Amino acid sequence: MRSLLSSGVVAVAAGVAAVGGSYAAVGRTPAFVAAPVADLVVASTPDAVITWSIQTLGDLGHQLGFLLALALAVGLFAATAAAGAALADRFAVPAWPVAGVGCVAAAVALVGAATSALAAGAGAGLVVGIASVGLGPSRGDAAAPTVARRRVLRAMAGAFAVGGVGAVLGSGKGGEVPAPADDGEVAADVDSLLGEAASRSLDVEGIEPLVSEQFYQVDINSVDPTVDREEWTLGVTGAVEEETEFDFEQIAGMSDSVEHRFVTLRCVGEGLNGKKMDTALWTGVPVMDLLESAGIDASGNCCVMLRAADDYFEEFPLSALRNGFLAFEMNGRPLPRGHGYPVRALIPGHWGEINVKWLTEIEVLEEEMDGYWERRGWHGIGPVNTVAKLHAVNHRDDGSIQVGGHAYAGTRGIRTVEISTDGGDSWDEATLSDPLPAGAGRKDSAGGASGTESGPRLQSAEDAWRQWEYTYEASDPHQVVVRATDGEGNLQPKKQRDAFPSGPTGWVSRRIEP
Ligand SMILES: Nc1nc2c(c(=O)[nH]1)N[C@H]1C(S)=C(S)[C@@H](COP(=O)(O)O)O[C@H]1N2
Ligand SMILES: [Mo]
């Protein structure tokens, strides 16, 4: 019994070391042995559970799913190591090489990546090895209580060591993207736009500046794809004159088309006052400049399907794509891996979900089809709802109270934000940040020189949020309510509705104690 128990602990420790070894070698990338297990966990979770988890657990659900995948991967390698050790025992050979090779084989079967698999095998072999140093392979030895205890302690120490080293080494892996192109002119443009954004940001503690410092991230998978920019292509397929492929150089090299745009993204699945709404300065090219060279009939009235390297796909009307943008830089740096490296779509005014990351294909459709989230009951392909959020409540030294947040209504823009400090009986206008500037770049629209097709140059960003702030005096507890009016004069709807299926609605309100 004791020996069974200690063998079990050694096997689990070997499983931890296998997963830790793989992580040390490749980090949180698709070559990590837990990555396909995580995919399997997501794929086998019923859609209703995913939707429930997004609403009630938020990011926690995602993290729990990944933890479950890690645990399953540990279990898988533990079982493999145990089987290897049992086999070795039967043939009276040392257990560590058999367990190690078994784990290499299991890892190859999972991810097919040599470095990751060898590291997994090395981790497992190491733990099984140190657990049995100085012990004969015979069962009699292992059954002695002190021997069993020694094995367990050594195995656990080994698992901790490999796991710890793995956590340190692996956390730095997988994020590498090439350094920004050494193009002084572009960088100067970006610099001055970012400077503008900083100077237009309101000085309110507790809210993000106009360009987010922390940009939220939402993905269907726990492990982001790692796309090689040199091998990446974007296919334009379906109802086009000629199916065409573009590579990265062709897109980034369209120097007459390259633009910088401030764009806000917001996730349809977030809470009304949630934090999945952020803004960045993106560099890229208008989608249509690309599609026209593929001979797309832009007057077509159906739709497009965007597909991605993580098997994500979203369909939406062609009309929404017309002002779409293919971004390859974010705040002057190459797109981070988590935000779609090397190229993502930005669709002005629409919910985050159709802003497809790791974009690989634009398929022009003649008939409608459901995208990834629409198959799961969401309606997130349309324009965003209007929202004013309340994220800062600051009690100032002079006794006044300052509240603040962001407001966003997609391409409709924000006209006013109103605030009530008496639960909605009376309203006053909040101070708004100046709109972010229109971007820069693109010869035909910059400086208003020609600007025929795209109309007169916009004075401000087409699809970006504003900040709001309001400072007042109060001596009793009270209810603060915020609401925005969009640029077309529509008041943000008061009716409270959950995020599912088409985005949250209602007015944010909060009780404040002076
Ligand atoms: N390929 C791909 N694109 C994707 C997603 C995804 O899971 N895979 N998530 C979408 C969702 S739901 C949102 S809200 C935005 C979030 O973009 P961000 O992670 O850059 O903030 O990306 C969208 N694009
Ligand atoms: Mo989203």
Q: What is the pLDDT of residues 75-131, one digit of tens each?
A: 999 999 999 999 998 999 999 999 999 999 999 999 999 999 999 999 999 999 999
Those residues with Cβ within 8 angstroms of residue 500's Cβ, 6 or more apart along the chain or in another chain? 51, 54, 55, 269, 377, 378
Query: Around Cβ 425, how many Cβ atoms within 10 Å?
Result: 9
Query: Around Cβ 325, how many Cβ atoms within 10 Å?
Result: 23
In this structure, what DSSP letter does residue 353 have?
G
Q: Report, as an integer, the average pLDDT of 333-348.
A: 96
Residue 150 has a pLDDT of 87
- Residue 63: strand, helix, or coil: helix
| Ligand 1 pocket check for 234: Cβ under 6 Å | no
**Residue of the nearest CA to atom 6 in ligand 1?**
219
4: pLDDT strictly greater than 80: no
Query: Do 417 and 484 meet the contact criterion of CB atoms below 8 Å apart?
Result: yes
Q: Report, as an integer, the average pLDDT of 10-17.
A: 96
| Ligand 1 pocket check for 337: Cβ under 6 Å | no
Query: Do 403 and 390 meet the contact criterion of CB atoms below 8 Å apart?
Result: yes
Residue matched to tokens 């500037």: 437
292: pLDDT strictly greater than 50: yes
Which ligand 1 atom lies nearest to the CA of residue 217? 19
457: pLDDT strictly greater than 80: no
User: Cα dihedral sign for 295, 254, 256, 351?
Assistant: positive
Residue 132 has a pLDDT of 83
Those residues with Cβ within 8 angstroms of residue 424's Cβ, 6 or more apart along the chain or in another chain? 479, 481, 507, 509
> Residue 218: pLDDT band by 50, 70, 90 thresholds?
very high
| Ligand 1 pocket check for 356: Cβ under 6 Å | yes
Q: Report, as an integer, the average pLDDT of 335-343.
A: 96
Q: Return the ∠ at Cα 448 (arms to 200 and 289), rounded to 5°.
A: 95
Mean pLDDT of the chain: 90
Residue 452 has a pLDDT of 38
Residue 157 has a pLDDT of 93
| Ligand 1 pocket check for 270: Cβ under 6 Å | no
191: pLDDT strictly greater than 60: yes
**Residue of the nearest CA to atom 16 in ligand 1?**
218
Residue 194 has a pLDDT of 96
**352 CA to middle of ligand 1, Å?**
6
Residue 176 CB burial class (10 angstroms; 0-12, 13-18, ≥19): exposed
Residue 180 has a pLDDT of 55
Phi, psi torsion values for 401, nearest 5 degrees: -115, 130
pLDDT digits (tens, 9 = 90+) for 91-101: 999 999 999 99
Residue 50 has a pLDDT of 82
Give the mutation target among 357, 465, 500 for probing the ligand 1 site: most ligand atoms within 8 A of CB.
357
| Ligand 1 pocket check for 380: Cβ under 6 Å | no
Enter the pTM of the model.
0.90
**60 CA to middle of ligand 2, Å?**
15
**Residue of the nearest CA to atom 24 in ligand 1?**
356
